[in-house]
Homo-oligomer: A and B are copies of this chain.
Amino acid sequence: MSTPNVAPFLSIRLDKDSPNPIYLQIAEGIGELLKSGALPAGYVLPPERALCERFGISRMTLRQAMGLLDREGLIESRRGRGTVVTPARLRKQQQELKSFSEEIRDRGGRPESRLISLERTLPGESVRDFFELGDQQKVYEIHRLRLKDGEPLALEFVRIPERLCPGLERFDIAKNSLYQILEESYGLRLENCIEEISAEAPTAKLRKLLALPKNAAVLVVNRKTFAEDGRAVELTRSTYRGDQYSAIVRSVRKKKPILRASTSS
């Protein structure tokens, strides 16, 4: 065939007046085709020039879209050969920053929360340094019991500088997501976090609070959360029932540097 088969891509519609740039529309369109599994792994995509013609765009623009798909691991290109669809299990997936509620719901449970205490207090030295606070600036210290499907799952100890969210005690922290309050009411856009995960034997107090069985351990997650502008926002120690909860991590082998243009918006 002298005219490459672009049939599967006919459904993609471009809107030149959309606020979304063309390369994004293309990437989303093709991306959905790939994620939906409409094209089998190993399927050879039409060459770039054919797709350009099909969409009526220039090649650099198309390549910007392909670059996005490539970075997501949806496609793989080889110079001289062509571009093929990556098998689903090789596709990348970002480690995602989620609230407790989001995470429990993702795992198919019903999240719940009970406020144990909320204090406004002067932090210790290490905490003060972490948040870059002055001598007299206070932090909120929140203890919450987290439940899944009515059963105690974790004890959470959150520390947030008062400076970032003055008047936090006015909110109903048991009912509302803390992340949501921070983002919507205080305009703190959380961007990333670092977690340190360890295992411990529970104290007697914890055994009682979490209703732990006789011979159980707890999973401790120490989390540091940062906002988009780089400020430290939150310092949390979560203690999970070891028999009810586990953390899942995905790692990738380091490769060569990547190529192609990008956006940051």
Contacts and interface: CB of A to CB of B under 8 A. Distances in A.
A253 B66 CA distance: 23
A89 to B, nearest CB: 5
A93 to B, nearest CB: 10
Contacts of A67: 260-263
Interface in A112-146: none
Interface string A39-63: 0010000000000000000001001
A196 B41 CA distance: 26
B253 A97 contact: yes
A165 interface: no
Contacts of A253: 96-97, 189-192
Interface in A82-104: 86-87, 89-90, 92, 94-98
A197 interface: yes
A178 B265 CA distance: 31
A261 B63 contact: yes
B194 A250 contact: yes
Q: How many copies of the chain does the oligomer comprise?
A: 2
A255 B250 contact: no
Interface in A1-47: 21, 23-24, 27-28, 31, 41
Nearest to A220: B199
Contact of A249 (B249, B258, B259): B249
Interface in A70-85: 70-73, 76-79
A68 B198 contact: no
A216 interface: yes
Interface stretch (A155-163, A168-176, A240-248): A240-248
Given A64-B261, A67-B260, 14 more contacts: A60-B60, A66-B262, A67-B263, A90-B191, A90-B192, A90-B230, A190-B253, A196-B247, A198-B242, A199-B220, A200-B217, A201-B201, A217-B218, A252-B265
6 contacts: A67-B263, A94-B252, A193-B250, A193-B251, A199-B217, A219-B219
